[in-house]
């Protein structure tokens, strides 16, 4: 076969073009010169950068500053540097980073394994031999081959084509494929539905038609992501609380109490070390990474990890129809078969199957044969004598066969209703024609395509001879059926408080019929309303009201899908978008969570945040439930972390002011270390997902945190007062301090009192997590085994330290078992009312906050309904910079994605390119419809 002359990109010359190297020596150009260009960093450098990134955020900076203070600024008053605290702080930072790095690496490997399984392959002829390579390695000028069922790996011009039919539904949204011949161009990502072909690659990667469509796509950069803003605000809350009490200690301890430089610094270190929720970025990161791994088990790839958190708050799910809600495979509706002669519906379907190919089928033949219980029946009991395949002129197929049971010759034809009724001469009455017209009209109003079937017998053995005249015997309804799990998925989504809207490029009637079958409703509008707005006198005052009220939109192009998602987001909704084609990519990119279904094009995958790798949409419900579980874990930890910050800084601040209490900084490090080890298990904790979309209400989180923190502070201060100011415990339980202190006023800085306060703070602070993780009574919601075991181990270690730790480098001394028992009983007594505080908060402050928020939302909606622009607070530059300092922990996902070409498109949305793409899509759709009408014009 002669190589065709085609226009193509620069590629390697067949003989290997010679280039000059830097040293002047010739170098042969290779295929890799035209493949993907990737910067390949060593694993060691990448891993080290990922590891160190856990220490690069404002919360870690405060701890790092505390380490510097301990080693460089604390050697005053004749004392050496505080090496124990320095080593402890560094150890804490390294442990947090190690745990986060390990979990993220595991999640990244799981995601990459799934991504590698999606890497498309291509059959290419190189060096005179056919071989299979990854499509990413194709270059212009390569000779490729594909057959039925293959995905076209690159834009190519066909050199040979045998009965080739190409499905471009991913581009046009139209279910019917189109025929291709030698010299025609095929687009990357389209599917070969029939025949086989060879062609020359003329464009690859970003230069293909789908690649140019991908330039419409813009993934938002995660440097200012949603979760990042939450982290920044929670971090700010903690830093402000710590800063306030550090300032108070500086103002009070030095001027008023005349503290020495080192003594005051130790007190400040207690607040810095104990108040900073150093594990917060790591805990939230690990929780998301574990979530990504769990979704990977359901065959869903998370390409933007913070999308898991955003999915929990999604209120509207916009879905494409073709290939997403439906199978993108035509089928016959058995319940709607119309008959006009002596044949039953089953007979009509069998005869239609006779008039269909059983090999190299087009979409119509495949759906007709597929309706039979056994496809072999399409040729059982007959001998094929002659078959005329579908062609654009006759617009029908025809078979002449011999019935083996009777030996008689018979003929069946199926095709467009207008052509078939013209052929019919036998029993063709006005009543039959009227019934046919009415049935076709009924199908059309429901968005169903009509396929007529006619039959005749031959009284001779001449295969080419005429028969006794065709008789119309039946009418078949063809449609693109919903996926098996689509209706259940939609029902589940509605039960989870998510409204589902269909957004499709198909006809309005088809969209309504699909909506009725799925229980979505048929309250749908054509795309033109997005430009023209609601009709005068309609029930909708604005376009936004119409979009919110609609069950879906039909006849839309990419810019329409993008506009719908954008307007819904403007109304305050978090939007998810599902799709599979290049025409869905802009909306997938714009949505808060873009979901590419199984079989999606590279353009759609590149735009999506979650990529499904198995057929069906049930994974979306798994992802929604999973994301809400993950959200609950993050919310529970956020309340806990903020409460502990308030508890530490307020408690030790007040004790310092009231008793000049010098708690050793090293023991705060021990508390923080044990807390972090326990809290890490929250990433796999058992929690119940909410039945409504979640959202971060930081006012609620801070309100709960302040209430819990002040209550725990009170438990410690009262405990301290009883120990120092009274002899209650000595008199009632027979305990005593080993230095012999007894009386109404003891030394608050006794080393044993330090240990007693350490144990009390360590136990009840960790126990708080069981209250924050539950919505009702803490004992009604069983925690995970990991959390329970981690808590028990931490408390055992704390109690052993209290019983045996006589560490000379810090100001503590072991206490007796009696004191340990007193601390445990005291904490249990104070722990039990915590649930009552939670319920009281919900009934008062939380209720008020929610009512205020509801009023604000109602006012904003009312302002928008009257055309007013609601006032919003503009973010300051300082706040923006502060948010950008929190890493969103997505680098490991991005690196895995880049290895298989996901999400590598520049974040651009060019309106003129979008319109050009829509125009091409419109012309392609029009051409397909013109070739395959359901009835004559």
Q: What is the DSSP letter of 889?
A: S
Tokens of 817: 């078992």
Cα 606–Cα 612–Cα 615 angle in degrees, nearest 5: 130
Q: Which residues are CB-contacts of 308 (< 8 A; sequence separation ≥ 6)?
A: 288, 291, 292, 295, 302, 623, 626, 627, 630
Q: Which residue among the candidates 167, 222, 320, 551 is catalytic per the annotation?
A: 320
To the nearest 10 degrees (0 to 180), the angle between helices 751-767 and 817-831 is: 40
Tokens of 701: 């989180």
How many Cβ atoms sit within 10 Å of the Cβ of residue 334?
A: 12
Q: Are 305 and 893 in contact (CB under 8 A)?
A: yes
Length of the chain: 937
Q: What is the rounded distance in angstroms from the CA atom of residue 490 to the CA atom of residue 488?
A: 5
Strand (E) or helix (H) holding 124: strand 121-126
Return the closest-CA partner of residue 755 out of 718, 793, 810: 810
Q: Are 144 and 150 in contact (CB under 8 A)?
A: no
Q: What is the rounded distance in angstroms from the CA atom of residue 239 to the CA atom of residue 246?
A: 10
Q: What is the rounded distance in angstroms from the CA atom of residue 462 to the CA atom of residue 386?
A: 11
Q: Are 758 and 646 in contact (CB under 8 A)?
A: no
Strand (E) or helix (H) holding 501: strand 499-503
For 759-790, the three-class secondary structure string (H helix, E strand, C coil) is HHHHHHHHHCHHHHCCCCCHHHCCCCHHHHHH
SS3 524: strand
SS3 848: helix
Return the closest-CA partner of residue 928 out of 173, 195, 321: 173
Return the closest-CA partner of residue 339 out of 278, 272, 427: 427
Cα 231–Cα 696–Cα 311 angle in degrees, nearest 5: 95
SS3 809: coil
Give 522: exposed, middle or buried? Use CB within 10 Å, 0-12, 13-18, 19+: middle
Tokens of 582: 């290049």
Q: Are 82 and 664 in contact (CB under 8 A)?
A: no
CA distances to 157, 193, 203, 778 from 144, in Å: 10, 17, 12, 64
Return the closest-CA partner of residue 631 out of 287, 892, 294: 287
The question of whether 731 is a catalytic residue gets the answer no
Catalytic residues: 320
């Amino acid at each position: 076969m002669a190589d065709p002359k085609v226009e193509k990109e620069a590629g390697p010359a067949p003989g290997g073009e010679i280039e000059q190297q830097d040293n002047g020596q010739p170098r042969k150009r290779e295929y890799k010169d035209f493949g993907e260009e990737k910067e390949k960093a060593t694993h060691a450098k990448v891993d080290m950068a990922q590891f160190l990134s856990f220490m690069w955020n404002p919360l870690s900076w405060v701890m790092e500053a505390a380490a510097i203070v301990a080693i460089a600024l604390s050697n005053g008053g004749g004392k050496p540097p505080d090496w124990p605290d320095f080593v402890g702080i560094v150890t804490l930072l390294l442990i947090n980073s190690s745990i986060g790095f390990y979990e993220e690496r595991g999640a990244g490997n799981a995601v990459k394994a799934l991504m590698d399984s999606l890497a498309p392959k291509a059959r290419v002829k190189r060096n005179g031999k056919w071989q299979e390579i990854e499509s990413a390695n194709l270059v212009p000028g390569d000779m490729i081959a594909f057959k039925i069922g293959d995905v076209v790996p690159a834009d190519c011009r066909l050199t040979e084509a045998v009965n080739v039919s190409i499905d471009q539904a991913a581009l046009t949204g139209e279910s019917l494929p189109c025929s291709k011949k030698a010299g025609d161009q095929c687009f990357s990502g389209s599917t070969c539905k029939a025949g086989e072909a060879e062609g020359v690659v003329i464009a690859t990667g970003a230069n293909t038609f789908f690649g140019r469509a991908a330039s419409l796509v813009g993934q938002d950069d995660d440097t200012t992501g949603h979760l990042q803003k939450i982290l920044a605000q929670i971090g700010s809350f903690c830093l402000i609380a710590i800063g306030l009490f550090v300032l108070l200690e500086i103002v009070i301890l030095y001027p008023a109490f005349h503290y020495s430089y080192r003594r005051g610094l130790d007190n400040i270190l207690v607040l810095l070390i104990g108040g900073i929720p150093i594990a917060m970025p790591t805990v939230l990161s690990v929780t998301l990474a574990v979530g990504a791994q769990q979704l990977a088990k359901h065959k869903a790839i998370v390409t933007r990890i913070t999308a898991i958190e955003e999915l929990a708050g999604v209120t509207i799910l916009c879905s494409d129809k073709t290939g997403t809600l439906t199978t993108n495979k035509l089928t016959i509706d058995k319940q709607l078969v119309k008959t006009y002669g002596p044949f039953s519906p089953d007979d009509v379907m069998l005869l239609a199957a006779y008039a269909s190919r059983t090999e190299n089928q087009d979409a119509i033949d495949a759906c007709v044969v597929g309706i039979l219980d056994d496809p072999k029946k399409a040729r059982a009991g007959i001998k094929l004598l002659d078959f005329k395949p579908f062609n654009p002129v006759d617009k029908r197929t025809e078979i002449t066969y011999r019935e083996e049971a009777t030996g008689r010759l018979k003929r069946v034809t199926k095709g467009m209703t207008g052509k078939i009724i013209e052929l019919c001469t036998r029993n063709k009455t006005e009543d039959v024609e009227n019934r046919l017209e009415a049935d076709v009209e009924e199908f059309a109003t429901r968005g169903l395509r009509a396929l007529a079937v006619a039959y005749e017998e031959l009284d001779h053995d001449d295969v080419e001879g005429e028969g006794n005249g065709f008789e119309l015997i039946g009418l078949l309804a063809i449609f693109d059926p919903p996926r098996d799990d689509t209706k259940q998925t939609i029902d589940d989504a509605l039960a989870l408080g998510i409204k589902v809207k269909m957004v499709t490029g198909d006809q309005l009637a088809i969209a309504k019929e699909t909506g009725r079958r799925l229980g979505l409703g048929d309250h749908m509008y054509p795309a033109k309303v997005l430009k023209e707005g609601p009709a005068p006198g309609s029930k909708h005052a604005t376009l936004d009201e119409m979009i919110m009220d609609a069950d879906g939109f039909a006849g839309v192009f990419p810019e329409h899908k993008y506009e719908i998602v954008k307007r819904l987001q403007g109304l305050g909704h978090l939007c998810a978008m599902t799709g599979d084609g290049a025409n869905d990519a802009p909306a997938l990119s714009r949505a808060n969570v873009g979901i590419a279904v199984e079989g999606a094009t590279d353009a759609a995958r590149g735009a999506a945040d979650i990529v499904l790798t198995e057929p069906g949409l049930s994974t979306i419900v798994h992802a929604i439930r999973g994301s809400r579980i993950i959200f609950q874990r993050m919310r529970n930890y956020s309340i806990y972390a903020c409460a502990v910050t308030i508890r530490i800084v307020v408690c030790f601040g007040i004790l310092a002011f009231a008793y000049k209490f010098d708690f050793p900084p090293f023991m705060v490090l021990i508390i923080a270390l044990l807390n972090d080890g326990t809290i890490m298990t929250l990433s796999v904790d058992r929690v119940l997902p909410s039945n409504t979309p979640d959202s971060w209400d930081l006012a609620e989180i801070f309100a709960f945190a302040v209430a819990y923190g002040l209550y725990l502070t009170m438990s410690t201060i009262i405990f301290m007062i009883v120990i120092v100011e009274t002899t209650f415990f000595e008199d009632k339980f027979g305990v005593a301090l080993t230095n012999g202190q007894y009386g109404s006023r003891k030394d608050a800085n006794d080393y044993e009192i330090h240990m007693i306060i350490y144990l009390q703070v360590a136990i009840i602070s960790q126990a708080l997590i069981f209250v924050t993780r539950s919505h009702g009574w803490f004992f009604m919601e069983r925690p995970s085994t990991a959390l329970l075991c981690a808590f028990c181990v931490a408390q055992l270690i704390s109690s052993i330290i209290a019983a045996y730790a006589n560490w000379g480098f810090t100001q503590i001394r072991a206490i007796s078992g009696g004191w340990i028992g007193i601390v445990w009983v005291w904490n249990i007594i104070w722990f039990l009312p915590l649930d009552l505080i939670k319920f009281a908060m919900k009934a008062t402050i939380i209720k008020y906050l929610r009512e205020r928020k509801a009023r604000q939302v109602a006012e904003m909606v009312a302002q928008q309904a009257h055309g007013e622009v609601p006032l919003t607070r503009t973010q300051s530059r300082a706040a923006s910079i502060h948010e950008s300092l929190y890493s969103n922990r997505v680098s490991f996902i991005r690196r895995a994605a880049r290895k298989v070409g996901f999400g590598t498109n520049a974040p651009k949305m060019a309106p003129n390119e979008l319109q050009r793409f829509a125009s091409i899509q419109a012309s392609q759709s029009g051409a397909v419809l013109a070739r395959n009408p359901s009835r004559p014009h």
